[in-house]
Structure 1
Amino acid sequence: MGFPENLLVAEERVALSLHPHWKRLVGAFLFTLLVVAAAIAGVVFTPWQIVRYVILGVALLLLIIYPLRRLIGWATTHYVFTTHRILLRSGVISRKGRDIPLDRINDVSFQHNLFERMLGCGTLVIESAGEHGQIVLKDVPHVERTHGTLYQLVEQDDSRAGA
């Protein structure tokens, strides 16, 4: 699911559009493998047909509840950096959104540990002059590059406002 371009205002362009890093899906993937392996073992080693159907039904239910929900949550979470603002969107049925104008951003920092550096992700921290203050975006892919892009966008916005 792509980011809806109709949310942009005139003369606004997308500089960077991201989903959270794929590491958010690792737990759901491992859970899926475990459930599938347990279901196969249960079906193979159970002599009663009705129990096999129950095992398959429970496995299907578990796969729908956790991994599919995580996948949909990941796919519908957007971090969008434009020439005018940052747009944060998430959810399908219950939607959450937040827009931060670039001229309200006071500070941008990032952090990532060794494991996150190996995976190429990290946490982006944005200090805003708004009501909510600090925004913490976890599992941002290429966090250093994203930090640099955001810093550049803020600087360009400052120079455009000053002109």
Structure 2
Amino acid sequence: MPAAPPQVSRRVAKRYLLADEQVVVSTRWHWAKLVRPAAAVLIALFLTLWVAAAVTDPAAIGFALCVLAVVCAWAGWQVLEWRCEWFIATDRRLLKTYGLITQRVAMMPLVKVTDMSYDRTILGRLLGYGRFVMESAGQDQALSHIDYIPEPDEKYQAMCETIFGRDVRDPGEDEEAWEEPEERYARGQADDPTGPRSSITRSRGTSSRWEAVDRRDLPRDWDWVDDEARGGRAATRRRVAVDPDPTPLR
């Protein structure tokens, strides 16, 4: 059965997501993030009960109750912030929404992500959460470490497939340079691909553009191979000319 699409908060989807964006990962932080506030409340409650049982001074008991109230208020604030925090990965960017009163959104385009590591501590394995570490050229500190990700194995695979499984062509690169001869011929921008000028070679110099050539203009000892077989860029399926003796002439 196909996997169910990620569930996104309506508030987050309406405010921050574009209409044509496809959500890959959408999640709140794991409930393990609330372990520390819960532990603080339990410790404060224990100390308050101990003070109430061991001390008869009303001032000391009142002070202990005030400390317990402050700790409970802080823990409640942490829970409310946890409910407002979302991590979303789409087919275009990474988003992190956080903040209860002042809402903030951290964003990183996928094209800037150069590497993503995945860590799971012993406690993370027991409770079922992990941490993603993003690396990019202009790194956003809010998205450099994504902690407390629930079901991290599935989310890591989905994000890697989206980030590193896409076409990594530079946005400013000439699209026509990587089109098939048949596609350019259909628009009237290239010769008949079945004709004598259907072969393609890389132009000399620093340019990476492709140019149509006639085989009769090249030396007879040159070989014609598939660029994909030579380990070229993603699935070009072009016929390229290869000089059997690349030694520069003197």
What's the TM-score once normalised by structure 2's chain length?
0.54
Judge conservation of contact 1:84–1:102 (CA < 8 Å) in 2.
yes
**Residue in structure 2 matched with residue 108 of structure 1 by the alignment:** 116
Residue 132 of structure 1 corresponds to 139
The amino acid across from 1:141 in the alignment is P
Counterpart CA distance in 2 for 1:51 and 1:117 is 42
1:78–1:90 contact (8 Å) kept in structure 2: yes
Q: Which range moves more in the overlay, 7-16 or 131-140? A: 131-140
- Which residue of structure 2 aligns with residue 143 of structure 1? 152
More strand by share: 1
- String of CA shifts for 1:24-74, please: whole Å, max 9, x gaps: 211211111111222233334544556544432331122213x22322332
Q: Which runs of 5+ in 2 are unaligned?
A: 1-8, 180-250
Q: Is the contact made by 2:96 and 2:106 (CA closer than 8 Å) also made in structure 1?
A: yes
Partner of 1:84: 92
Identity within the alignment, %: 21
* Secondary structure of 2:114's aligned partner: strand
Aligned-pair CA distance for 1:124: 0.6
For 2:79 and 2:17, the matched residues in 1 are separated by 26
Cα contact 2:97–2:103 (8 A) shared by 1: yes
Worse-matched range after superposition: 29-38 or 114-123? 114-123
d(CA) in 2 for partners of 1:61, 1:108: 39
Q: Secondary structure at the match of 1:36?
A: helix
* CA–CA distance in structure 1, aligned partners of residues 67 and 115 of structure 2: 48
SS at match of 1:26: helix
Higher helix proportion: 1
Q: 2:126 aligned with 1:118, yes or no?
A: yes
Larger CA deviation: 141-150 vs 71-80: 71-80
Question: Which residue of structure 1 lines up, in the alignment, with residue 107 of structure 2?
Answer: 99
Aligned equivalent of 2:39: 30
Higher relative contact order (CA 8 A, sep 6+): 1
Q: Distance in 2 between matches of 1:109 and 1:50?
A: 53
Distance 2:63 2:114 in 1: 56
Residues of 2 paired with 1:5 and 1:99: CA distance? Answer: 14
Q: Which amino acid is 1:119 matched to?
A: L
CA deviations on 1:66-109 (whole Å, 9 max, x unpaired) are x2232233222211112321101211234332112223322222
- In the alignment, structure 1 segments of 5+ residues that lack a partner are none
Structure 2 counterparts to residues 45-56 of structure 1, below 5 A: 45-47=54-56, 51-56=60-65
Corresponding position of 1:75: 83
RMSD: 2.8
Q: How does 1:7-18 map to 2 (within 5 A)?
A: 7-18=16-27
How far did residue 5 of structure 1 move? 1.0
Q: Which amino acid aligns with 2:25?
A: L
CA contact (8 A) 2:97 2:105 kept: yes
